[in-house]
Amino acid sequence: MLRTQLKVACRLYNTLFHLEEEEYKKNKHSMSRNELRQLALVLRKRNTEFQALHSQVAQQVADRFYWARQRFFEGLANKPKEKKPHMYLSLVYPQGGWKLSNIREVGQGENTEKKKARLYLSKIGFFTVVIHRDFPLEGVSQVCVKLNPSGRIFVVFLVEGEVEAPYEEKRAGEPMEVVGLDVGITRLVTLSDGRFLDNAKPLERSLGRIRLLQRSLSRKRKLSKNWFKAKLKLAEEYEYVKDFRRDLFFKLGALLARDYVILVLEDLNVVGLIQRGETRKRRMRLYDSAFSELRRILGWQFQRHGKTVLAVPSYNSSRECFQCGEVNHSLALEDRVFHCPFCGFTLDRDLNASLVLSKRACRVGATRLVCLVGELRPIPPLPSLGLAARRRRGGAMIQEASPFRAG
C-alpha cells in the first residue's frame, strides 16, 4: 500500500513539475506556494488516481516541489528535475491524517523507553510501530513515513518545543574542559587526552559481500523477480554499512558530549581530501571514514547538550610541533611518530595533531584550555551492536562485526 502511495505521490510531483514549467513558458510566471498547493488539490479533485493520497499529503508534495525550486532560486541546488519513482521514498502528514493508539511498554531491563503502538495513517492503513524514545504526543507537528530501499519502514515524528534538558552553565572562572580531536584513517579519532578509537572501516569489511551481491545482480535479467531479490539484498548490505557507521558515531558523540564542554576539530575540506588521495585504496578509506558525517553527528550531539563544537583551520595541523610551533615539512604520510627537528619534541603523530588543534582553539577564542596529556589508550569497548548481531547470520560473521575489542 505504501509503495502504491509513493508511486502516486511521485506522479503528482512530476505532474506539478510539468504544469509549472508550462505555465512559466507561457506566461513567464512562477507559481507561489499557495498556487502550487491549490493546484495539487485541483488535480486531486479531477483525477481519481490522485485521490488515493490524503489531501494534506498531496499538498505537502506541492510544498516539496516549491522548496526544491526555492533552493534552486537561492543558488543552493540544481534545477528541480522529474523524480524517478524508485527515488521517491517518503510521505509527510503535516497535521492530521494519523493516529497513535494502543501504546504499550515492551522494553526489558534498563530499556524502559521502548514501546509498541498501533499507528493509523489515513489512506494507507494500520502499522505496528516500535517507539524507541519518549516524546509528547501533543507536541507532534508532522509525521513522516519513509521507506528505505531495503524495505524497512521508518516513521519520523517531528516534535516542537524543548525536549532535552539544556546544559547548565558553569560558574564563571571555572575552567571549561576542552578536547582536541584529530581524525585519521588508521585511527578514526585521536583525542588530545590520549584516548583513541581504531577505524572500524565498515565499508571495507563488507566489501567482499558487496562485490558478490553486485556480481550476482548484474547476472540477473533486469526487472525480473530474481533481479529484484538481488537488488534488495544489495540494498540491505549497504544499509547495514551505513547503520554500523552511524551507530558508532552516535555512541562516540554521546561519550564525548558527556565528558567535555568544547570539542575542537579540523575544518576539513573532505571532498577535496578524497580527490587528492593518491591511491584508490586511500580514497576508499577516506570515503569510508565519513569525516563529514562524523562531524555532523558530533556537532548535533554537543548542541543537544548545550555544548560547543569548534572547527579550527586545518592548515599544517599534523606537521606543526605542539611544543615550539615550528612546522616539520619532512613529515611523510606514513610516519606514525612526530619528531620535531627544532626542539626535539617527540610524540605520536595523531596525538600531536589533536594537541595542536586544541591549541589553535585558544587563538580563535576558546578561553581556559585544559589539555590532558597522557599516554595513548584505546577508548573502552562501546556497547555492542545489537544490530550487527541480528543482521548477520552465522557465528563467524557476528564476531567479526564487533570492532570494539580493545587493541
**Judged by CB, which is closer to Zn ion: 37, or 349?**
349
- Annotated catalytic residue 182: yes
Contact 178, 366 (CB under 8 A): yes
Does 350 qualify as catalytic in the annotation? yes
Q: Provide φ and ψ at 144, rounded to 5°.
A: -115, 130
Instruction: Choose the binding region for Zn ion from 165-173, 267-275, 309-317, 335-343 (rule: CB under 5 A).
Output: 335-343
Q: Which is nearer to Zn ion, 44 or 319 (CB)?
A: 319
Distant-in-sequence contacts of 279-287, Cβ < 8 A, 24+ apart: 282/185, 284/203, 284/204, 285/185, 285/199, 285/201, 285/204, 286/185, 287/203
To the nearest whole angstrom, how small is the minimum distance from the Cβ of residue 317 to Zn ion?
Answer: 14
Q: State which of positions 228-257 bind Zn ion (CB under 5 A).
A: none
Exactly one of 343, 364, 373, 397 binds Zn ion (CB under 5 A); that residue is: 343
Instruction: Report the amino acid identity of residue 139.
Output: G
Q: Which stretch binds Zn ion (CB under 5 A): 198-206, 307-315, 343-351, 352-360?
A: 343-351
Percent helix, strand and coil across the chain, each to the nearest 5: 45, 20, 35
Asked whether position 327 contacts Zn ion by CB under 5 A, the answer is: no
- Which residue in 191, 203, 230, 321 binds Zn ion (CB under 5 A)? 321
Q: Is 134 a catalytic residue?
A: no
Which window, 51-59, 186-194, 342-350, 395-403, contacts Zn ion (CB under 5 A)?
A: 342-350
What 62-71 contacts at long range (C-beta under 8 Å, 24+ apart), as own/partner pairs, is 62/16, 62/33, 62/36, 62/37, 63/33, 63/36, 63/37, 64/13, 64/92, 65/13, 65/16, 65/17, 65/20, 65/36, 66/33, 66/36, 69/20, 69/30
CB proximity list for 162: less than 8 A, separation 6 or greater: none
DSSP state of 346: E
Query: Of residues 103, 212, 324, 389, which one binds Zn ion by CB under 5 A?
Result: 324
- Quick check: 331 binds Zn ion (CB under 5 A)? no
Q: Does 92 bind Zn ion (CB under 5 A)?
A: no
| Residue 135 makes contact with Zn ion by CB under 5 A | no
Residue 311 and residue 15: Cα distance in Å, rounded? Answer: 44
Helix (H, G, I), strand (E, B) or coil at 355: helix
We find the least distance from the C-beta atom of residue 342 to Zn ion, in angstroms, to be 5
Q: Does 30 bind Zn ion (CB under 5 A)?
A: no
Strand duo 178-183 + 262-266: pairing: parallel
Taking the complex as a whole, the smallest distance from the CB of residue 286 to Zn ion amounts, in Å, to 28
Q: Which of 55, 70, 323, 402 binds Zn ion (CB under 5 A)?
A: 323
Cell of 79: 534545477
CB-based contacts of 166, cutoff 8 Å, min separation 6: 306
CB of 184 to Zn ion, least distance (A): 21
Catalytic-labelled residue, pool 20, 237, 266, 348:
266
Among 63, 236, 345, 371, binds Zn ion (CB under 5 A): 345
Nearer to Zn ion, 135 or 345 (CB): 345
Q: Which of 73, 126, 315, 342 binds Zn ion (CB under 5 A)?
A: 342
Q: Which amino acids are annotated catalytic?
A: 182, 266, 350
Judged by the rule CB under 5 A, the positions of this chain that interact with Zn ion are 321, 323-324, 340, 342-343, 345
